[in-house]
Amino acid sequence: MFPDLEIPVMVLFFRNRIPDHFVLHSLLGAATVGTILSVLSTFLIYPTFVSSLFRIEKNKVERKCKLSLTLILSAFLGNVSHVLLDVTTHESNPIFWPFQDHVPSPVVSTLGGLQNASLMMHILMAVLFLVFLIYKRKNLLEGLLVG
């Protein structure tokens, strides 16, 4: 997902005064720029990268990564859910940018701090990942990379 790829760009432009998050960590940025970048990289770059690195048939990857409404919706949901999950693991987020700069996380304060909130989200993600591993245990690598 593209929201976290803005961090190297911020380092280049802001050097010593790097903001916590930027445009791609807003709902508007994730839904527009993040979705466009995700869609373009998925059908232009991902098939070649995955097929050469993991020796999966390129045609098989290209069939799954073709430009479609499913790809666009998946990219949109992935980027927006990333931003919403970040609300649970960061004390402040610019999710309503440009209308509101930073929003304090209600999850972090409710769970008693950043460490507790982060631990809870990591446990939840680990459980979901284990369920996925059990479900896709046959052809695991291909299931993870191609779907």
User: For 109, how many CA atoms within 13 A lie in the half-sphere containing its CB?
Assistant: 6
Determine the average pLDDT of the residues in 117-121.
Answer: 87
| pLDDT given for residue 103 in this prediction | 78
DSSP state of 34: I
Determine the average pLDDT of the residues in 119-147.
Answer: 81
Which are the contacts of 23, defined by CB distance < 8 A and separation ≥ 6? 6, 29, 33, 94, 97
Return mean pLDDT, the chain.
Answer: 82
Please give the single-letter amino acid code of residue 48: T
| pLDDT given for residue 39 in this prediction | 94
Whether the CB-CB separation of 126 and 97 falls below 8 Å is answered with: no
Q: What is the pLDDT of residues 75-118, one digit of tens each?
A: 999 999 988 888 887 777 788 877 877 778 787 878 888 888 88
Residue 68 has pLDDT above 70, yes or no: yes
Domain around 100: 3-145
Among 46-60, 102-116, 118-132, name the one with the lowest average pLDDT.
102-116
Q: Please count the other Cβ atoms lying within 10 Å of the Cβ belonging to residue 124.
A: 12
Residue 43 has pLDDT above 60, yes or no: yes
- pLDDT tier, 123 (very low <50, low <70, confident <90, very high otherwise): very high
Which are the contacts of 102, defined by CB distance < 8 A and separation ≥ 6? 20, 92, 93, 94
| pLDDT given for residue 16 in this prediction | 67
Structural domains in the chain (count)? 1
Residue 21 has pLDDT above 60, yes or no: no
User: For 127, how many CA atoms within 13 A lie in the half-sphere containing its CB?
Assistant: 6
From residue 133, alpha-carbon distances to 46, 78, 128 in Å are: 22, 19, 9
